[in-house]
Structure 1
Amino acid sequence: MVEVFKEVELVKEVPVEVVREVEVVVVATPTQIPMPLPSPTLGPTETPTPTATPSPTPEPPSTPAELVGRVQDSIVRVEARTGGFVFFQSSGSGFIFAVEGTTAFVATNHHVIDGKSSVEVQLKNSETYDAVVLGWDAERDVAVLSICCSSDFIALQWGETSPSEGESVIAVGYPDSDAENVIATIGEVRAPDDLSTEHDFIPHSAPLNPGNSGGPLFSMPGAEVVGINTARNTETLAFYAVPFQAIEEQVEEWRAQLIIAPTATPTFTPTPSPTPTFASAPSLTPAITFSRVKVNGVVYTVHSIIDPAPLRRGLSTGERAVAVDVSLEAVENNIDYDYAQFSVQDSDGYIHDPDFINRGVEPDLSRGTLAIGQRVRGWVNFNVAEHAKLTAVQVETGYGSPRVVIAYLARD
């Protein structure tokens, strides 16, 4: 049986090798004393210009303990929650793989954040940040988050190639059995099995425990991230990681959804529109007018609408699914945003709120915090009456605030 890390029995962790101190003995080299020579008369000499000494490249760590000491500030604990009448929580690991300015990009497993309404990321120094979910692949079990803002974020380096069978690897993360400390386990790449072949996983023997989900798998030596730990087989005690090469393009695509402004406070220039413009779309899809609106220092953009959207779970008889592609950009101040802010209105005046349980088109918008100059984009999914004619997309800019129209819809 193959499982992701939920409530299962723990595999005993492999202890991390301790770095021992080695006494260094310096042996003096005997020198010859030259015979004195007559001192010649010297003319004026030019003082040579000193040349800069290049900084030596640090040697890769030689032991697991040394590796943990170097990378622990980049390993994070991910906490995901769903509120409401029933409270659900899941936790896992992750790691910072890129830093841009004061924003860090974090890789983790999709099953850690799946279906959760809020996600937090905690660093080794106990600093906690609200995370923005930028994208995920449920089949690969990979997700990318962003957190802001700190000048102390440190990114790990991806490996350019996958490790070969027999090569040493180290799995690092925050297991539930010791959620306060970064723990490393040691193993090697195993021969391919049916599961690793089917899903293009890296099979290895470094034990994984619940809570290790989303943590990095390192090459040893080299200390490069070669994969994201995701699953284990409790019968064969085989463990699996998603190789970076399999998700590289997706990761960069998700990362690009968050735009970091080069200046502290960008300016907003409205696009002149003397006549309404319509997005090209199939006949069943509404055209969009006035799709870029600035409200209270936030620019809301409706990029496209899928109507009807593909069928999904939770859709009742007499309903159709609708998906709206929106983005928010903080141009004047930091903002909190939420999937629940958005709604659609039909020609009968009914307001339709998002479907919080059975979300369809992905990645959805989720919730989070944006600093000035940041933008996030995602889909908001709705269930509406089968024959309802949608007329507007609206946003509630604050609790109890009136709804503001950010796009008018017109059907063919």
Structure 2
Amino acid sequence: MKKITIVLAFVAVIQVFNIGCNKQQTSGSKGRSSSNIGTDTTSDFVSTAEDKPIEAVANFVEASKLVTPAVVHIRVSVNIPATYGNAARSGMGSGSGVIITANGYIATNNHVVENASKINVTLPDKRSFTAKLVGRDPNTDLALLKVDADSLPIVKFGNSDKVEVGEWVLAVGFPLSLNTTVTAGIVSAKARNIGIINRPDNKNNNNSEVGGNTAVESFIQTDAAINPGNSGGALVNTNGALIGINSAIASQTGSYTGYSFAIPVNLAKKILDDLRKYGTVKRGILGVSFPSPSGEDRFLAEQGLNPADVKGVYITGVQSEGAAAKAGLKEGDIIQSLDGVQLNSSTEFSEYVARHEPGDVIKLGYLRKGKKAITSATLKEETSQAPVAKSVQSLEEIYNRLGARFGPLTNTIRQQYNLNSGVIVEEIKRDGFFERVGIPPGTIIAFINGKPINNPTDIEKSFLSAQRGLIQIFAIAPDGSKVVFNFSLGT
């Protein structure tokens, strides 16, 4: 059969959000020490650079000289699985990476290397290596590669917690098979959640590990131009210190149009260190649910609270026998601080928890009925699903708590939203959960706890397996917008 070659910029779109990676397709068939990554003690990775940025804009030149030798071009051969209405196919992809150790460890994005059958890395000095995939984490869009080389140039880690809005930054990448490129901009916002990691239109993420209730988005937003092929590159301050790994762009065309997003380096340190040690990520789980960032204000208003007055994270559910339950936290508590750090959003909270491993003890300051209190919680190990309750509730009781009934998607709707899975909300019950948080009829439920929902029966299985545990629903609203809802079926 004759092969037809199609060249395109592969940018996964969620409304206007795009993953900045190029792909050329061809049709066809335990406890963790703080002295690991990014410290100047015993780490096998890099030592921490001075975090205070150089004031003069002219020092962009010096920062560029420090960073560009350590940003590489990544080219992959990919095998893309069959999806709804599409046959399996193969092709080529490209992105960027950042050398973080002199002996050949390279950080990049998960979406750059997922489904890769072969990975090739080219350095700015034109040396080329075949890379080994050490591990990848779809929940943070990070991956770690290794090449067989020594005495490589490296990027030193900064401190993303110290990054300030308005600070000058440089985005360094290896896009479109060009040489290393550098663009400049300022930090526009921190702790941004854009709903791109746990999304139903990511056709390549078919593993059960993808998404789920451990997906973490806490991006640094910048107006530095990050174009397709820059994914996995470096975001640095004007002292050349790494503060983020470039991941996504906001665009309607697949090219930069004003907003770019990077994974904060303080989160990346933990993820990359785990991937190096274990090949996977060990996550400490607190066991609480809270409103999704996009629906948080509306949810708080439904509870009679002024969102502007809620300084912290409103707990909507506590997992039975989880770390939070054992620490005495209850539904309705507002977590205001973690290890003494004031929390301004649930996105910040998710990032800070994600930096910890099972067995880590965290100190939580919280508000209950107007009174402040402090407790300590020992984080638990991530499990594939919440424990099943000993006495099984009836499905009708679960539906009553959720406040909705569901039906299958028509082929027209599947094609309209390019979906491989999902069910539609046909009925909303008065005073039910869906009504309280404002989920209207016509909403599409695509994933529950990271697993695709193909029919109403899948919802039954998901609810029953997660009874008295935490639920995360990825939904598409009738207007096509994406939203994630977190809640608990029991206490």
Tell me which protein shows more strand as a share of its residues. 1
Tell me which protein shows more helix as a share of its residues. 2
TM-score of the aligned structures, taking structure 1 as reference length? 0.45
TM-score of the aligned structures, taking structure 2 as reference length? 0.38
